[in-house]
Amino acid sequence: MSETVGAEAVREDVPTTSDAVDAPLLEVDGLRKEFGGVTAVDGASFRVAPGSFTGLIGPNGAGKSTTFNCITGIHDPTGGTVRFDGTDVTGLPPYTLAQRGLVRTFQIARELSEMTVLENVMLAPPEQSGESALHSVLPGLRDDVQTAEREVVEDAWATLEFFEIDHLAHENAGSLSGGQRKLLEMARVLSTDPEMVLLDEPLAGVNPTLEEKLLDRIDTLRQDGLTFLLVEHDMDVIMSHCEHIIVMHQGQVLAEGDADTIQSDDRVLEAYLGGDV
Amino acid sequence: MSATENVREQLESLPDYGLVALFLAGIWLILTVLAFAVGGPQAPNLAAGFIGSVTVLLGAYAILTLALNLQWGYTGLFNIGVAGFMAVGAYTTAILTAPANPEAGAVAGFGLPLWVGIPGGMLMAAIVGGLAALPALRLRADYLAIVTVALSEIIRLFVNWNGVAELSLFGVEFGTGGATGISFESPSAVVAGVVNGVGSPLVSAANGLGVSGPNVVNIVYGLTLLAVVGGSYWVLSRLVNSPFGRVLKAIREDEQVTQSLGKDTRLFKIKAFMIGCALMGLAGVLFRGSAGYISPAQFRPTITFYVFAALIIGGSGSNTGSILGAATFSALLFYLPARLGEFFPSLRGQAPGNIIEAIAGLGSLDPGPLVAYTVSNVSTLRFVLIGVVLIYIIQNRPQGLLGHRNEPAASVGLSRPRAADGGGDDE
Amino acid sequence: MGLAESVSDKRRLPVERPSVGVIGVTLVYLVADLAVKLTGTTVFAFGFRVIGGSLSVGGLFSMVLDGLLVGLAVGLAGIGLSMTYSILDFANFAHGDTVTVGAFLGWVAAYIVAGVGTDATLASLFLFGTNLQLSVASTLGPVLLGLVVAGVGTVAVVLLIDRLTYRPMRESDNISLLIASIGVALALRYLIAFVFGTQTSGVASSGAQFRLLPGLAITDNEIALLVVGAALMVGVHLLLQRTKLGKAMRAMADNEDLARVTGIPTERVIRLTWILGGGLAGIGGYLLVLESETIAFNFGWILLLLIFAAVIVGGIGSIYGAMAGGVLIGLVDSLALIWLPSGLTRAAAFAALIVVLLLRPSGIFGGVSTA
């Protein structure tokens, strides 16, 4: 999952749409979600290729966050299927999906405000032996837990240093600024050692230097095999970094393709004029 | 204000066991002073009696508060059915240890020794907690509160029901004793056996000071409970200072986020709930059942609110806070006022029997009767005080005594690894 | 929301459908058992009583009447709890003691008025120390006066409590408010104990009895309860449906933010919630004492869980739900005696509460807007 890919790190051609047809990591088919009388997602279908950096855009109300929520188990879809890594995961609870490697950040950062920044990040790594009650308490087993924890602590500090929020490590997450919380969300979700990350407007409130750093980091992680699906309103980022873009409008997929294709698609322009960018 | 801040700083720099020891010593001191103020020649015995009783009370409430802290303070599970789980633990132990051939009119049991009966009681309390948790833990906090108190009452009504007072299944006789209760092997009698046996020199010395044998036993029983508190604290602090504890805290804050990070929150909640219930069962036996007799009337839901008061006072989320809160509540709000009320004989002699006569004195500008009436009814008023304290704390200092402390949940030190000394301290 | 919730419960329904099936089968068995009992026959198998027993028609109606009476009073009390839950958004654990306050205020007033002119001292009247037993037939005036005092007095008390305790906490989360209400409950209950003592006093007894059926009689006090309870419920209904105030309260119950935005003054609505809820709770307590003929400092606290059961079964936030839930729970509590031993009938009502919370937390009328 996160092994450094030696010589292939130099590779220019990251997976593209055509590869997606062969073995997509994420497949959404005919996804529907209704809330009472409102249909938020109305038959959305798309594929995400492994290792790709895909953008999901659309005017407000297009159904992007709802789609995220349906994929990641926060909502139960009214219809349609979601397949991850070849397996049907429709309607599975969030923790199962996360354990399989599919994680997401939240649009409004949901930091655990009464816990410190460091605690937040240390929560994320999977399969911590100390998460067993027995292992935490019994004398011999606790020693192993402590050994494993020291590594978790080191990794957490390294992650916080990368995201430049290490000076806040012992602060309660609730006292962070909006931008800092976004960074914490990212730091936390990346610490789960995922395969695919759904990013829900992660760059809002983040300064440009750090934004570049984050995007570089995303690229590095992609070379390690991670896949990213990004919802963003910053069109520059989407157009210049995502090799595949999905446009949603009124709950459906309006168009798909690379930046040029999308930018020259009249329907996309109309959708945005009808809504607001 | 700086004098208060100074004292506070000094207190907060003490290690936790120091803080608890200081509290205990303070409480013992206050009670001893009271005893010598009113006891006359009986003072040493009176002091011993006070100290023994308050230590037992404190120990029991500390165990209960620690248990509730795990469930509510750490995991966010609002359990006000504490009395019910105490009853399950106490009654299971009673049924297991009641004599197989009792005296006439008494309920029979399995006649097992206490060292089997008490773990059995704890296990049963954990199982009942687990069964209740399975469907109920997905409820939001206030609904869970209502379900747990309803369950607690159902348990009490069940053990009160004469239909299960005496049963005979496959030739084995046992039962709950119904409304009249059940006698079983007494934990304090076990302690008394040790004290009067191995500890008889101590008893003789105490007698020399004017302290009676039973009071010595009571003090030793209280200290035994404190040892149990210490053991519980040891287990619980290891439990919460670990990844397990981290997940519990995260669940309390935002269960959905915790799930999104890959944690099966239901499992964590059930474990935390069951462990808490086991401790409540233990407290049920050692506290309500200390004399080897329990009845349904001792398990009314009200005790849950006292434990909650203790937890809020101490600061939910802090184990040490739970012990301090239990000490504050049981000693200062519960025990001490009642003793004060008992030991003002001169005033009590004149105390009016009812409120009308008490107020009548105000007509002639004499507050005496009202004061006397108030003092003689302090044991009723202390609950008014508890209620007011609870409201005050929730409004003005909801974090209680120690809840403001940052106690990150980890099993190792959290300082930056590349610091000069090469790494954080281990705990 | 109904569709979304039933769909998102898809994972849980397979677990719940067996529960619903079990409940259905149980209800069928209970009704069949009742029918067989009325005929006086018993069916045995392998030494166990499988179905049947004996129950007279008069006995059955007597139980129904008891359940109805208690249920009406509990329902009245429950209206306040339900409204506090939805408009102020917290579970008010002091509500039972509010009921007690109303009962004490009302009965002291009734007693004093009834005892004026006799040679009983004020003190003994205040503490229900004389042997005076009030009833509608013999002491109508005092009883009615007590009713009014119960309502008005409780309103004053709950408004004071709100000013001191809950108003400073308007922005707090519902658990903090719940904990504060626990403090209020303790303080109220033991203030009453401080003033009146902890004994149980007999204050009423039936003045006249009317035989309705063989085995079924109704007393003057019980008739009064029925009349007053029903009249109040009709009154509340009219208030909610016909007055601007009532509409505002319904709007706020359904959506507080919406109410703020549309300019309905929320502090005013909150005050009216306390007035209506507190007044009805006090009257409910007064009537409960009239029915049970005794009064004690903690009787409301003991009833609290039953009142919660009524509110939750009926649907939190729904005033009609509280009324219906009250009657329903009263009937369950009373009729359980047909099938369960007397020591367990109260447990049946609590079990119903748990079942409703687990399977349909919105209750019977909940989730339905009261418009």
Residues A58-96: tens digit of each pLDDT? 888 888 889 999 999 889 999 999 999 989 999 899 999
Output helix, strand, coil percentages for chain C, rounded to the nearest 5. 70, 5, 20
pLDDT of B402 > 80? The answer is yes
Q: What is the pLDDT of residue B345?
A: 61
Q: Which helix (H) or strand (E) is C45 found in, with range?
A: strand C42-45
Range of lowest pLDDT (B38-42, B120-124, C121-125): C121-125
Q: What is the pLDDT of residue C369?
A: 46
Residues 6+ apart with CB under 8 A from C222: C65, C69, C206, C291
Chain A residues 78-107 with a CB less than 8 Å from chain B: 93-95, 98-99, 103-104, 106
Closest chain A residue to C10 measured between Cα atoms? A76
φ, ψ for residue B300, nearest 5 deg: -75, 155
pLDDT band (50, 70, 90) for residue B162: confident
Range of lowest pLDDT (A243-257, C79-93, C209-223): C209-223
Residues 6+ apart with CB under 8 A from B191: B217, B220, B221, B224
**C-beta of residue C343 within 8 angstroms of C-beta of residue B163:** yes
pLDDT of B340 > 90? The answer is no
DSSP letters of C136-153?
A: TTT-HHHHHHHHHHHHHH
Closest chain C residue to B399 measured between Cα atoms? C176
* Contact yes or no for B163 and C91 at CB 8 A: no
Q: What is the pLDDT of residue C263?
A: 59
* Contact yes or no for A122 and B246 at CB 8 A: yes
pLDDT of C92 > 90? The answer is yes
Range of lowest pLDDT (B421-425, C95-99, C123-127, C253-257): B421-425
Q: What is the pLDDT of residue B349?
A: 61
Residue B122 touches chain A, beta carbons under 8 Å: no
pLDDT of B371 > 90? The answer is no
Residue C24 touches chain B, beta carbons under 8 Å: no
Closest chain C residue to A74 measured between Cα atoms? C8
Question: What do you get for the CA distance between the two ends of chain C, in Å?
Answer: 17
How many CB atoms sit inside 10 A of residue A96's CB? 14
Parallel/antiparallel/unpaired status of strands C42-45 and C48-52: antiparallel
Whole-number Å distance between alpha carbons of B190 and B171: 30
pLDDT of B173-185, one tens digit each? 888 888 899 999 9
pLDDT of A16 > 70? The answer is no
CA angle C54, C313, B139 (to 5 degrees): 125
Question: What do you get for the CA distance between the two ends of chain A, in Å?
Answer: 36
Residue A115 touches chain B, beta carbons under 8 Å: yes
Q: What is the pLDDT of residue C213?
A: 74
Residue A259 touches chain B, beta carbons under 8 Å: no
Helix ranges, B343-399 (H): 345-350, 355-363, 368-376, 378-396
Q: What is the pLDDT of residue B426?
A: 43
Closest chain C residue to A73 measured between Cα atoms? C8
Whole-number Å distance between alpha carbons of A56 and C79: 50
Distance (Å) from the alpha carbon of B193 to chain C's nearest alpha carbon: 39
Establish, for the pair of chains A and B, how many residue pairs have beta carbons separated by less than 8 Å: 138
Q: What is the pLDDT of residue A212?
A: 86
Whole-number Å distance between alpha carbons of B284 and B34: 30
Q: What is the pLDDT of residue C61?
A: 86
Residue A141 touches chain B, beta carbons under 8 Å: no
What pTM does this model have? 0.89
CA angle B189, B194, B197 (to 5 degrees): 115
From the list B320, B221, B413, the residue with the least C-alpha distance to B17 is B320
Tokens of C227: 């009349």
Q: What is the pLDDT of residue C260?
A: 59
More confident residue, A101 or B170: A101
More confident residue, C205 or A66: A66
Averaged pLDDT, A87-114: 90
Question: What do you get for the CA distance between the two ends of chain B, in Å?
Answer: 34
Q: What is the pLDDT of residue C310?
A: 92
Q: What is the pLDDT of residue C259?
A: 58
Strand order in the sheet with A79-84: A38-48, A26-35, A79-84, A87-88
* Contact yes or no for B245 and A170 at CB 8 A: no
pLDDT band (50, 70, 90) for residue A6: very low
Residues 6+ apart with CB under 8 A from A250: A42, A61, A62, A63
Q: Which helix (H) or strand (E) is C294 found in, with range?
A: strand C294-295
* Contact yes or no for B247 and A123 at CB 8 A: yes
Whole-number Å distance between alpha carbons of A145 and A128: 8
Q: What is the pLDDT of residue B324?
A: 93
Torsion of CA C248, C250, C253, C255, to 10 degrees: -70
Q: What is the 3-state secondary structure (H, E, C) of chain A?
A: CCCCCCHHHHCCCCCCHHHHHHCCCEEEEEEEEEECCEEEEEEEEEEECCCCEEEEECCCCCCHHHHHHHHCCCCCCCEEEEEECCEECCCCCHHHHHHCCEEECCCCCCCCCCCEHHHHHHHCCCCCHHHCHHHHHCHHHHHHHHHHHHHHHHHHHHHHHHCCCHHHCCCEHHHCCHHHHHHHHHHHHHCCCCCEEEEECCCCCCCHHHHHHHHHHHHHHHHCCCEEEEECCCHHHHHHHCCEEEEEECCEEEEEECHHHHHCCHHHHHHHHHCCC
Q: Which residue has 């409008």 as its token pair?
A: A249
pLDDT of A114-125, one tens digit each? 899 999 999 999
CA B304 to the chain's CA centroid: 9
Q: What is the pLDDT of residue C8?
A: 38
Q: What is the pLDDT of residue B100?
A: 86
From the list C170, C280, C165, C290, the residue with the least C-alpha distance to C219 is C290
Residue A193 touches chain B, beta carbons under 8 Å: no
Residue A128 touches chain B, beta carbons under 8 Å: yes
Residues 6+ apart with CB under 8 A from B113: B97, B185
Residue from C6, C8, C11 whose CB has the most chain A CBs within 10 Å, to mutate: C8
Q: Where are the domains of chain A?
A: 7-111+193-274, 115-175
pLDDT of A248 > 80? The answer is yes
Tell me how long chain C is.
371
Distance (Å) from the alpha carbon of B274 to chain A's nearest alpha carbon: 11
Distance (Å) from the alpha carbon of B374 to chain C's nearest alpha carbon: 8
Q: Which chains touch B (3 or more CB pairs under 8 A)?
A: A, C
More confident residue, B329 or C52: B329
Whole-number Å distance between alpha carbons of A66 and A47: 17
Q: What is the pLDDT of residue A264?
A: 86
Residue C185 touches chain B, beta carbons under 8 Å: yes
Q: What is the pLDDT of residue B1?
A: 56
Q: What is the pLDDT of residue B54?
A: 95
pLDDT of B234-260, one tens digit each? 999 999 999 999 999 999 999 999 999
From the list A199, A225, A246, A224, the residue with the least C-alpha distance to A28 is A246
More confident residue, C11 or A90: A90
Query: What ipTM did this prediction achieve?
Result: 0.87
DSSP, collapsed to helix, strand or coil, labels residue B173 as strand
pLDDT of B65-98, one tens digit each? 999 999 999 999 999 999 999 999 999 999 999 9
Q: What is the pLDDT of residue B422?
A: 43
From the list A178, A182, A192, the residue with the least C-alpha distance to A123 is A192
Q: What is the pLDDT of residue C1?
A: 32
pLDDT of B40 > 60? The answer is yes
Closest chain A residue to B426 measured between Cα atoms? A146
Q: What is the pLDDT of residue B96?
A: 93
Q: What percent of chain B has pLDDT over 70?
A: 96
Q: What is the pLDDT of residue A2?
A: 43
DSSP letters of B210-259?
A: T--HHHHHHHHHHHHHHHHHHHHHHHHHHHHSSHHHHHHHHHHH-HHHHH
The CATH number of the domain covering residues in A7-111+193-274: 3.40.50.300
pLDDT of C141-198, one tens digit each? 888 899 999 999 999 999 999 999 999 998 888 889 999 999 999 999 999 999 888 8
CB-nearest to A36 from C4, C8, C11 is: C4
Whole-number Å distance between alpha carbons of B172 and B122: 23
